[in-house]
Each structure stands twice: as structure tokens, then as C-alpha cells.
Amino acid sequence: MAKEKTDELNISEEDLELLNTPLGIQFLMADKKTNVPKALRLLKDELTFHNLQAEMIKLQHWVIEKNQKVVVIFEGRDAAGKGGAIRRITEHINPRHYRIVALPKPTVEEQGQWYFQRYVNQLPKPGEMVFFDRSWYNRAVVEPVNGFCTKPQYRSFMEQVNSFESMIMDSGIYLIKFYFSITKEQQALRFKDIQSSPLKKWKMTDVDRKAQELWDLYTEFKLRMFEHTNLKKSPWIIIEADRKTEARIKALQYLIDNIPYEKDEEGEDQERG
């Protein structure tokens, strides 16, 4: 790239070096019309992901070696980007030591059980991480909004959920609760994208189709959930998710910052040697 052109675009020598890497060239060539600022932004985001994902590998190694147990909950409105965030977080870690749980509608047998039973059955064994793409909090928002549970069932859940989570954490499980928050306008745009894509339209459910109409009711139950379950011991981590990349980076960064794995274990071993 000519120096006059880089000066015109206000690109530093460091940025120019990044753009001249194979990954940088890939982003420069991604669009028919070269957009250098966009390519540079996407490149830096991808390099941030690489660094954070490398730390996730170390975090998982610690979980395995120390027989730790980790549960990460992803909640949020339909099309908030929960599944995409989970894919980015788990992209490079060992698939034998984590599970993604997205439970379907309960069976007749499960409907007769204690509500939390089907989730207890999915909790991690020592050395394992479990990522819930929606969790027991279905009963806090989605179910009452859509009439999938009775008022007594809802009240029972709200009375029990904090004690349930305390029991989980007291058993030695690290519990992190993410809520991906999007605007009504962004949700509408994402639904439009899903419906127009032959590769994505299968994702659209009857619940999704009513989500915009029921927006205010979702908000009401969401706020009740936060008020009752946002505890010091198990807080909700609210992630603004209108920009998917930023949301995924924030979630990764939070896990790395708040699960006390041994970040510099390898370096410390070398120094001792």
C-alpha cells in the first residue's frame, strides 16, 4: 500500500503491518470494494478473539486438571446472539470436556418432575464446562409471557431459584449468568435477516414471531427476574448485544477475568526452572 495512500487514510505503520499479513489481506479482499478502515477494524477484532480464545484454552486446561466445574448461562431475547456467542467461546477448546445444552420442550415425564430436575441432570461433572443456551430461567420470562406455565408454577420457581443456585455454587460449581440485551429495532432487523435467508429461516419459531408484539411484556418479566435474582453471590452480567462482535468479546473477557484459573502457570514454571 503506497505511503501517500496510508497517510490519507491516517493508518499507522503498525496498522499497515497488520494489514499486510495473510489475515489482513483476507479482510481487505472480503468486499468487492476495498474498505480499509472496516478491514482494519475486523482484523483487530479477530486478533482480539484469537488472544481471548487462547486464554479460554488455558482456562479449560485448568478446569480439567483441577477437576473444576463451570456453568455458564446465556439468556436474552430471541435473536440476541446467545448461540453465536457460545460458538465463539467454545470454538477452539477441547470438545470432550464441555457441553452446550439447549433443551427442547419438556416431555410428559419431565412435566411431572420437579422443575429443576432436567437441569440438574445437565450439570457438569468434575473437569467439565457446561454452556446453557437458555436455562431454567425460561420459567422466569419466556414461559409466563407465552402462557407456557401457570401462575403458581411461576411463583414456585421464583421462590426456589435463588436457593437452587446457592446449592449449585455451594457444591463447588462456578456459575456465571449472562443476559444479552438488544433493542427492539435490532431484534426486528435480525428477524428480517433470518426470515430472508434460506440458511437461517429454520431458526424462526412461533415464539419468535410473537416476540415483537409481546416486547413490553417480556420487558416486565425480565425486570422482575433481575430484581429477584440479581444477587451479589450470583449476579446477572448484562451485555449490550446490538453489536454481535463486541458482545462476544465482552463475554469471553468476563469469563477469563472472573474464573480464577492459573493464567501464568506455564510462565511461572519456566521461571522456576
Handedness of CA 127, 133, 137, 139 (dihedral sign): negative
C-alpha cell at 236: 446477572
* Among the listed residues 133, 140, 136, the one whose alpha carbon sits nearest the alpha carbon of residue 115: 136
* Secondary structure (3-state) at 235: coil
Q: What is the largest CA-CA distance in the chain?
A: 72
pLDDT band at 26 (very low <50, low <70, confident <90, very high): confident
pLDDT band at 267 (very low <50, low <70, confident <90, very high): very low
pLDDT band at 265 (very low <50, low <70, confident <90, very high): low
Give pLDDT, residue 27: 66
Q: How far is CA 221 from the centre of its chain?
A: 21
Give pLDDT, residue 264: 66
* Among the listed residues 119, 121, 126, the one whose alpha carbon sits nearest the alpha carbon of residue 171: 126
Which burial class, exposed, middle or buried, applies to 72 when counting CB atoms under 10 A from its CB (0-12, 13-18, 19+)? buried
Determine which helix (DSSP H) or strand (DSSP E) holds 223, and give its type and residue range.
helix 215-229
| Residue 152 predicted with pLDDT over 70 | yes
Q: Are 218 and 145 spatial neighbours (Cβ–Cβ below 8 Å)?
A: yes
C-alpha cell at 210: 410473537
The number of beta carbons lying within 10 Å of the beta carbon of residue 70 is: 22
Whether the predicted model's global pTM rises above the 0.75 cut: yes
* Among the listed residues 230, 226, 245, 181, the one whose alpha carbon sits nearest the alpha carbon of residue 52: 245
**Chain segment 55-106, per-residue pLDDT in tens:** 999 999 999 999 999 999 999 999 999 999 999 999 999 999 999 999 999 9
**Chain segment 30-44, per-residue pLDDT in tens:** 776 777 777 778 888
Give pLDDT, residue 273: 36
**Chain segment 133-146, per-residue pLDDT in tens:** 999 999 999 999 99
Task: Delineate the domains of the chain, giving CATH numbers in brackets.
Answer: 1-66 (no CATH), 67-260 (3.40.50.300)
Alpha helices in 66-200, H assignment, sequence order: 82-90, 108-111, 117-120, 142-146, 151-170, 184-196
